[in-house]
Amino acid sequence: MLTSVSKTISQPHASFLAEASHSLAAQVGHTPLLRLDQVAQWAELAPGVTLLAKAEWFNPSGSVKDRAALHIIRTAEQNGRLRPGMTLLDSTSGNMGIAYAMLGSARGYNIKLTLPQNASPERIAILQAYGAELIFTDPLEGSDGAILEARQLAAADPSLYYANQYNNDASWQAHYLSTGPEIWEQTAGEVTHFVAGLGTSGTFTGTTRRLREFNPDICCISMQPDSPFNGLEGLKHMPTAIKPGIYDESLADENVAVRTEDAYEMARFLARKEGVFGGISAAAAVAAAVQVAQRLTRGVVVTILPDNGFKYLSERFWTA
C-alpha cells in the first residue's frame, strides 16, 4: 500500500509536464534508460545484475536540470511570484543556469546567475549565448560562494525572483513527479537499487521518495565526491558544504564516495567502450553504481547521467 507524498504537493503540480505539445517545456522528461552492458562486463558483474542509466541530456537544454528549472518556474508562475518581464535570480554551477536561461528566453524572463569563475568555458559560452547576466564568484569557494553571492543580491533587490534551487521544494518535487515514475515504468517495476549524485540533492530526494512509494524495499544510495577539493562539477561534498535545505540525509540507505580520478577514468571508458559521451558527474554516478552492483548477485541498478560530455570538452582528462 502506497503512502503518497503527492498529497502535500498542491495542484496543478500533478500535471507537471502539461504543456503545448510543441513547446520546449513539453520536451522535458521522458528520457531514455540505457543498458550499460560494456561497463557491466568490465566490472565483472554477476549475470543476474543489470546496470541501467537515465540519459538526461535528451532534455532540451541538455541536462537533468530542465526538470527542476521547469517546475520551479511553473510553481512561481502559478503562485504569482514570477511574471513576464521579471528577473529570475539563482546560483548555479552551470547546468541549472542553462535550463533557467533556455526557459526564461522562451517564457519572457530575464535571468541573472551567480556561478564560480572556474565553471567550464563551454557552460559559460552557452549561458552567454542565451543572454543570461553572469556574476562570477571566487572559484576556491565553489558552489557555496555562488550561493552566498545570490543571497546577498536577493536581499539587496526585492524585485528579483530568487529561485533558490537549494531550498526550493519544487526542485525535489520535479523528480518526485517525473523521474521516479519514469524509472518505475521503464524498468516495469523491477528496479532494486537507485544511485544518484548529490548537488542540490533534488534528484536523489525526489526520486527516492517516489520510488519508495512504489516499493519500499528499493535500496537508494547517494553519491558525493570523496573530498571537499575535487573536480566533480555540480556535486557537493556534504560534510563540508552549505547543506541544501531540501537535503534529507536520512533518506539514503548508504552514501558512496567517488574519487575525481575514478570519475575521469569512467568518463573515458563510457565514451570509448560504451558509446556514451557522459559528463563528469555522469561518470561519477556510473562509478558509484558499479560499486553497488559489484556486491550483488541479482538486481536492477539504475543511476542518473545528468548531462553529456560536450560541456567539458576543454578538460584535459579526455586524452589521457
DSSP state letter for 76: H
DSSP state letter for 139: G
Helix (H, G, I), strand (E, B) or coil at 72: helix
Cell 556535486 maps to which residue?
235
DSSP state letter for 307: B
Burial label, 264 (beta-carbon count in 10 A; 0-12, 13-18, 19+): buried
Q: Judging by DSSP bridges, how do beta strands 298-305 and 48-55 pair with one another?
A: parallel
Cβ neighbours for 311, distance < 8 A, ≥ 6 positions apart? 62, 94, 95, 120, 122, 123, 126, 279
Burial label, 198 (beta-carbon count in 10 A; 0-12, 13-18, 19+): buried
Q: Which residues are catalytic?
A: 65, 281
DSSP state letter for 262: H
